[in-house]
A and B are shown apart, each in its own frame.
Chain A
Amino acid sequence: DAGVTQSPTHLIKTRGQHVTLRCSPISGHKSVSWYQQVLGQGPQFIFQYYEKEERGRGNFPDRFSARQFPNYSSELNVNALLLGDSALYLCASSLWTAFNSGANVLTFGAGSRLTVL
Chain B
Amino acid sequence: AQSVTQLDSHVSVSEGTPVLLRCNYSSSYSPSLFWYVQHPNKGLQLLLKYTSAATLVKGINGFEAEFKKSETSFHLTKPSAHMSDAAEYFCVVTPYDKIIFGKGTRLHILP
Which residue of A has the minimal Cβ distance to B91?
A: A42
Q: How far is the CA of A48 from the CA of B98 in the complex (A)?
A: 9
Number of A-B pairs, beta carbon distance below 8 Å: 62
Does A95 sit within 8 A of B, measured CB to CB? no
Q: How far is the CA of A99 from the CA of B51 in the complex (A)?
A: 11
Which residue of A has the minimal Cβ distance to B103?
A: A42
In this complex, how many residues of chain A approach chain B with their Cβ under 8 Å: the count is: 29
Which residue of B has the minimal Cβ distance to A110?
A: B43
Cβ contacts under 8 Å, A107 to chain B = 43
Q: Using a CB–CB distance below 8 Å, which chain A residues touch chain B? A: 3-4, 33, 35, 40-45, 48, 55-56, 58, 90, 92, 97-102, 105-111
Q: Using a CB–CB distance below 8 Å, which chain B residues touch chain A? A: 31-32, 41-46, 49, 51, 53, 90, 94-104
